[in-house]
Amino acid sequence: MRHLISCLLGLACFFWCLSPTQAQIVDVQELQFRVSKEESWKLAFSGSADWRVGNVRYLELKGGIFTGFKRGKHLFFLTGEGTYALQNNQRFNSNLFGHARYRYEVLSWLGIEGFVQHKYDEFQRLFGRFLIGMGPRFQLYKGPYASIFLGTAYLFEYNKFSTLAGAADSEAERLFHRWSNYLTLEIIAGKVLRILHTTYAQPAFADFSDFRIAMNTTLALKVNDWLTINLSHELAYQSRPPETIQPLDSTLKASFAIEWTLWKPPVVKPASLPTTKSTSKPANKPKPPTTQPTTQPTENNPPIFPAPSETALPLGPTSDAPKHPQTPTLPTKRR
């Protein structure tokens, strides 16, 4: 937790040093889905240019950068974008935006995330808006074709309005403590098409009638591994805008993003068990007993009888055994 707070404070100082955000909500949920699917480190660029001459002299430049990293239970991404436009040599659009977010996955359905954000928009009469927040993120449902997420967080907000002659809020500074909530629905319609919708609600703790609501829908078409085309519509409402600013804004825009994967964890193949040759000799198998042929005796094949053993001796006298001749007795002479 201490490292998370230090990281957020460091990023806050970085964004504060950027050029002076409108008070409207900026959707960043689409950005974290770029890197949350797998462990990797990604880098992406987006941009567009519009240049016209003739009856109208018009120039508009837009650019953005994104980098995100996911490893194990940790996810971090940083993004920045800006717009600059001239019409008849008069500036009519100028804004900068930066956002950083870190999320730690406590459980498979629960994460803790912290974020900092800064955006400058000259024509929204906000010289600067800075915010920092932290809170849980819940995974309500996850399936093969759809996912639903709910996030809630405490949000500290600082606003400074730009100078406007005759306006009561000219150069005014405002501090707010808000309750930030969002609900995100992701629909995967095939391998190349993805639909993402997010609804935000940010009431102030001190006065719930001071609130902001935003709805953003993005259609992402993945052309190949490195090119994605996005079509998005955003509807934003703020109950108490600065003077001379309309409370409702609607934006429809098309953009492209070029993305590179800078790192992926190496694929570890399962180790195969070494095959060792047995050095022990196989046991001698007993030879099967030999049997005499069972051929029938014929004239050409007389019956074969086993030869008698030369060492075999009869155990007792038999009638057929040969009789040994007795030693003749010589007659004795009389004297």
pLDDT in tens, the chain (335 residues): 444 444 444 443 433 333 333 346 778 888 888 888 889 999 999 888 889 888 889 999 999 999 999 999 999 999 999 999 999 889 988 899 999 999 999 999 999 999 999 988 888 887 888 999 999 999 999 999 999 999 999 999 999 888 787 788 888 889 999 999 999 999 999 889 999 999 999 999 999 999 999 999 999 999 998 999 999 999 999 999 888 888 999 989 888 889 999 998 887 777 666 665 555 555 565 666 655 555 555 555 555 555 555 555 555 555 555 555 555 555 555 55
Classify residue 290: in a domain, yes or no.
no
Structure tokens at 229: 């085309």
Structure tokens at 316: 């007792």
Whether the Cβ atoms of residue 101 and residue 133 lie closer than 8 Å to each other:
no
The predicted pLDDT at position 330 comes to 55
The predicted pLDDT at position 13 comes to 40
Which residues form the domain of 207?
2-263
Q: How many angstroms separate the CA atoms of 322 and 326, rounded? A: 12
Residue 212: exposed, middle, or buried by beta-carbon count in 10 A (0-12, 13-18, 19+)? buried
Half-sphere exposure of 16 (CA within 13 A, CB side): 13
Classify residue 300: in a domain, yes or no.
no
Q: How many angstroms separate the CA atoms of 253 and 237, rounded? A: 18
Classify residue 86: in a domain, yes or no.
yes
Classify residue 144: in a domain, yes or no.
yes
Q: Between the CA atoms of 148, 151, 157 and 162, what dihedral angle is there, to the nearest 10 degrees?
A: 0
Query: Alpha helices of the chain — where are they, by DSSP H?
Result: 2-16, 29-32
Degrees, nearest 5: CA angle 152-155-156: 170
The predicted pLDDT at position 179 comes to 97
Whether the Cβ atoms of residue 151 and residue 185 lie closer than 8 Å to each other:
no
Classify residue 314: in a domain, yes or no.
no
Alpha-carbon 121 to chain mean position = 34
Structure tokens at 214: 């935003």
Transcribe 66-118 into DSSP letters.
Answer: EEEEEETTEEEEEEEEEEEEEETTEEEEEEEEEEEEEEEEEETTEEEEEEEEE
Classify residue 310: in a domain, yes or no.
no
Residue 176 neighbours by CB under 8 Å, 6+ apart = 155, 156, 157, 158, 159, 204, 206, 210
Classify residue 278: in a domain, yes or no.
no
Q: How many angstroms separate the CA atoms of 20 and 123, rounded? A: 12
Number of domains in the chain: 1
Whether the Cβ atoms of residue 45 and residue 65 lie closer than 8 Å to each other:
yes
The model carries a pTM of 0.70
Classify residue 220: in a domain, yes or no.
yes
What's 209's domain CATH number? 2.40.160.40
Beta partners for residue 178, in sequence order:
155, 204
